[in-house]
Amino acid sequence: MATVTFDKATRIYPGGDKPAVDALDLHVEDGEFLVLVGPSGCGKSTSLRMLAGLEDVNGGRILIGDRDVTTVPPKDRDIAMVFQNYALYPHMTVADNMGFALKIAGTPKDEIKRRVQEAAKILDLEAYLSRKPKALSGGQRQRVAMGRAIVRQPQVFLMDEPLSNLDAKLRVQTRTQIASLQRRLAVTTVYVTHDQVEAMTMGDRVAVLKDGLLQQVDTPRRMYDHPNNVFVAGFIGSPAMNLLTLDTTEGGVKFGDTVHPVERAALAATGNKLTLGVRPEDLELSNQGLPVVVDVVEELGADAYIYGTLRGEGGTGGGDLQVIARVDGRRPPEKGSTVHFTPKVGHVHLFDDKSGLRIGA
């Protein structure tokens, strides 16, 4: 097995004046499952393709283990890639698809058969080895693509949005299988997705990218509880964190008709306004606080989510804002009513209004 290191790796596409990936510094430990996540165009797939050798590196280096592979051809990097498109050969059986790369490499037939059987057992594909891809479901085809990677016994698995073509229920089931499989095999894995729920549930660590720049890399729990900036705060978490630009005042910030206490050092680090982030589960119904008009109530059984509107005069100093809050599903407010919320003490996140960077611990 091996570590993976991006050492200020940069990719600028021909004709472009802005890097698609800008001086990426990232280290993946041996056997770690690292997820690259971000919106479309953030550079996550480009980063993966640079690691695979499918994109040129215009600056910096990429290392697998202690070996600099920046200019090494893809076939010599000892990696296996699983794509969004399964790319199975339609005229071959499942067994032949899984063993094809070994056959091309001149591996003895007995060895190919043994590895294919082992992978099929791990992936619960033993009953389908003689079938053609057209006779398989989407989830089964994805497992065949995984099997094709496993039989090669590479140092690193690379996965580029492998679940995008699956329906919602199958996606949840398959992501659990992939995460479980990776832990059993203990192969270093770099996984790309735009789905932050996938990232949070699968990765040992998550790296968030925006416009080619690494925003934060951390464990899912740490990233959820301690986002480094406004972008990460708004991107990680479902439903998203509420981000409110509030006026500062003596001792805190104006939170509707109340003052939410803020430490003096944090207030001194900003100007007349700061951005306060609070997650939906950390807003509590109250007799005072932010006045929110309830637009939609999503009832989920034990819980319900309130999607409401905070009018411009509600303390934000700007236009109307959407506010999301989790409430008791058995007694949710009625649509059209006005309710007040206050944040739980110790559960708010403060960010500089201009730079977007986190203030304080």
CATH fold match for the domains 4-228 and 239-352:
no
Each residue's pLDDT tens digit, 349-361: 999 988 999 997 6
Looking at residues 169-194, what average pLDDT do you find?
A: 89
> Per-residue pLDDT for 60 more than 90?
yes
Sign of the torsion formed by the C-alpha atoms of 105, 111, 100 and 147: negative
The pair of three-digit structure tokens given for residue 313, joined into one six-digit string: 């005069």
Residue 63, helix vs strand vs coil? strand
pLDDT of residue 230: 96
CATH topology of domain 239-352: OB fold (Dihydrolipoamide Acetyltransferase, E2P) (2.40.50)
**pLDDT band of 318, cuts 50, 70, 90:** low
Name the least confident of 204-208, 267-271, 296-300.
267-271
H-type helices in the chain, by residue range? 44-52, 94-104, 109-122, 138-151, 168-185, 196-202, 220-225, 230-235, 264-268
Q: How is the chain split into domains, by residue range?
A: 4-228, 239-352
pTM: 0.89
Cis omega (within 30 of 0) for bond into 227: no
Question: Domain spanning 4-228 has what CATH number?
Answer: 3.40.50.300
Express each pLDDT in 275-298 by its tens digit.
Answer: 999 999 999 999 988 999 999 999
Q: Which two tokens stand for residue 263?
A: 């430490």
